[in-house]
A and B are shown apart, each in its own frame.
Chain A
Amino acid sequence: MLTLKLAFKNVTKAGLRTWLNVLILSFAYVLIIWTDGLYDGMSKQVVGDMIDMEIGGGQFWERNYDKFDPFTIDDAYAPIPENLEELVKNNEATPVLFRASVIFPQGRVQSAILKGIDPNQKVLKFPSEYLNTGESDYIPGLIGSRMAKNSGLKNGDIVTVRWQDVNGTFDATDIEIVNVISSYVQTIDNGQIWIPLKSLQEMIGATNVATVIVLHKDIETIPSGSPLWEFKDHNFLLADFYNYLDRKGMGSAIMYGLLMAMALLAIFDTQVLAIFRRRKEMGTMMALGMTRGGVIRLFTLEGTMHGILAIIIGTIYGLPILYFSAVNGIAMPEAVEQVGLSLNSTLYPVYGIGLFLSTSLIMFISVIVVSFLPTRKIARLNPTDALRGKIA
């Protein structure tokens, strides 16, 4: 109790030394939470976008379809089963047909997957309505900005595509790029051209077939599948993304550790310095009747209090900042769109109580350890140094 009082007194009386320490610590604390929240927000947002634009409330896959094997694509089509047809009519599901193709943009050869989607579908937030172009000589095609970059295609370009129909016969036609969508979801963008479902069905010579059937994300009951159609839930459909996040997570853990190390180094530094600078002070305290254990406890507690103060101060000025950025989002610079995941230009960080608690706890424990370690050395300090009047 006395130690606590004394530590509190020392910390509050030390003025600038305390506040510098606490400020650095609290910066680190807020920064750790902020980056973590940003990271969480980022993945939540991408997941949200993927659900909105691509995977909906889950998908039925034609049993031959294997997304890791492009050679399966041309075999992966089947008539839409009746129970799903019903959902499609009610705007609760929408079929998508895939087809491997080769495109010839500006004389080059490139493979691409054609994806047929109903231009009037209301299931996904995918902007398929661009495909409603009325009368035209060309089949309208929609590509993502990534695809546009890779292929050099742009709005208004005509590109020749070649594909095989259900009989294995090659055929070719021209597609007019009617829009380049800046997509947030990589998996609807890379190497794909979206065209009207009916057109693709005609091109391959099969009516009413699809490769996947996407359910509306708000669908209440998942309809039953069939031997031909297997249901794939979110876990399955997002697994790649989560794997990706895990790999990214390593990066964020390193970042977290780095920030923490910075903060702890600051404390460690001041504590180590304190041993040398405050040696005389400690010797004096011992000469005045404080026990060695008492001195160790006192100095450890002082360091710990820096941690507590940092958490309090960080919370006081950090909370409004964190709250503000969580509510209003953070405008992302262009550069971020270049990295692996494409993102909305405004990002909403997500801060969970768990994040606060775990960061606080880790901070707290680390501060104790880092304060204790150098202070323990004092146990070996001879209080006679103080009495001898050495300035060291």
Chain B
Amino acid sequence: MTNEELIIAQDLSKDYPIGGDFFRALDGINLSVKQGEFSGIIGPSGSGKTTLLNIIGALDTPSDGSVNVLGNKVENMTHTESANLRNNFLGFIFQTYNLLPVYNVYENVEFPLLLQKIEKLQREEMVMQALEWVGLTNKAKSRPSQLSGGESQRVAIARAMVKKPKIVLADEPTANLDADNSHHILKTMVKLNEELNTTFLFSTHDEKVISYLKRKIMLNDGKLVDDILVN
């Protein structure tokens, strides 16, 4: 089912305490993201992109307003509930890849499935399929330290995608990659978005990423300043 609203933010604000004062990193954000979107939050450094993604990913809570993710109110969730939400329905891709250093590629991708307590045989199938999506089946036994930046980020994508989450949150996934690798990765994500109807929400100020986006959510100084749909 398309057009279902997976993420709804209403009057969302976030204050960070600084000394005795507060810094408003997000200011009255209203936003909704539908299933299957390939959209990005675009803004200069410090505009609050990461903060917004963190709250949508239930890693952080809003100071004001409400965020509904897949029917769960983020502001009311316990640690365990938010962990379960991430475990079952959310995938994360980080700017710095964040692969688990002692695991090889296969084990990194397998990790979310272990948390979901999926059986070994099924796990194997799912991991290999995810590695196929990103074209890394031949590197299954490699350690993260042996991979290039592009390969590492592809592993991270496979790890985010392996459990076929409803939503993938990608915080500047190309910031550490060169042009070739950036395009490769973006194409991979577009493909997964089309094949699996996975919702992608980026944070970026990278032109390469922006050129792939179908929706551009512009953020400045914690405020949503524009929201552009690309045909």
Query: Residues of A with Cβ closer than 8 Å to B?
Result: 2, 5-6, 9-10, 13-15, 280-281, 283-294, 382-384, 386-389, 391
Q: Contact flags (1/0) for B70-111 with A, using CB distance below 8 Å?
A: 000000000110011011101010111010111100010001
**Could you name 8 residue pairs across A and B whose Cβ atoms are closer than 8 Å?**
A6-B114, A284-B94, A284-B100, A288-B92, A291-B83, A294-B83, A384-B60, A387-B171
The minimal Cβ–Cβ distance linking B120 to chain A, given in whole angstroms, is: 11
B79/A387 in contact, CB under 8 A: no
B60: nearest chain-A partner, CB-CB: A384
A387/B53 in contact, CB under 8 A: yes
The minimal Cβ–Cβ distance linking A378 to chain B, given in whole angstroms, is: 12
Q: Kindly state the separation between the CA atoms of A280 and B115 in the bound complex, as whole angstroms.
A: 18
Which of these, B59, B159, B171, contacts A389 with CB under 8 Å? B171
Known: A284-B98, A286-B59, A293-B79. 5 other contacts (CB 8 A): A5-B114, A288-B159, A290-B83, A389-B96, A389-B98
A379: nearest chain-B partner, CB-CB: B79
A14/B102 in contact, CB under 8 A: yes
- Provide the residues of chain A in CB contact with B115, threshold 8 Å: 2, 288-290
Kindly name the residue among B60, B86, B103 whose own CB sees the greatest number of chain A CB atoms within 10 A: B86
Which of these, A281, A287, A388, contacts B86 with CB under 8 Å? A287
Q: Kindly state the separation between the CA atoms of A290 and B100 in the bound complex, as whole angstroms.
A: 13
Kindly name the residue among A281, A387, A389 whose own CB sees the greatest number of chain B CB atoms within 10 A: A387
A289/B112 contact (C-beta < 8 A), A2-B117, A387-B50, A387-B53 known: yes
- Provide the residues of chain B in CB contact with A391, threshold 8 Å: 96
Query: Residues of B with Cβ closer than 8 Å to A?
Result: 50, 53-54, 57, 59-60, 79-80, 83-84, 86-88, 90, 92, 94-96, 98, 100-103, 107, 111-112, 114-117, 159, 171-172
Q: Kindly state the separation between the CA atoms of A15 and B86 in the bound complex, as whole angstroms.
A: 30
- Provide the residues of chain B in CB contact with A5, threshold 8 Å: 114
The minimal Cβ–Cβ distance linking A19 to chain B, given in whole angstroms, is: 13
- Provide the residues of chain A in CB contact with B57, threshold 8 Å: 287, 387
B102/A286 in contact, CB under 8 A: no
The minimal Cβ–Cβ distance linking B139 to chain A, given in whole angstroms, is: 17
- Provide the residues of chain B in CB contact with A281, threshold 8 Å: 98, 100-101
- Provide the residues of chain B in CB contact with A289, threshold 8 Å: 83-84, 86-88, 90, 112, 115-116
B98/A384 in contact, CB under 8 A: no
B103: nearest chain-A partner, CB-CB: A13
A387/B92 in contact, CB under 8 A: yes
Q: Kindly state the separation between the CA atoms of A6 and B107 in the bound complex, as whole angstroms.
A: 11
Kindly name the residue among A280, A292, A383 whose own CB sees the greatest number of chain B CB atoms within 10 A: A383
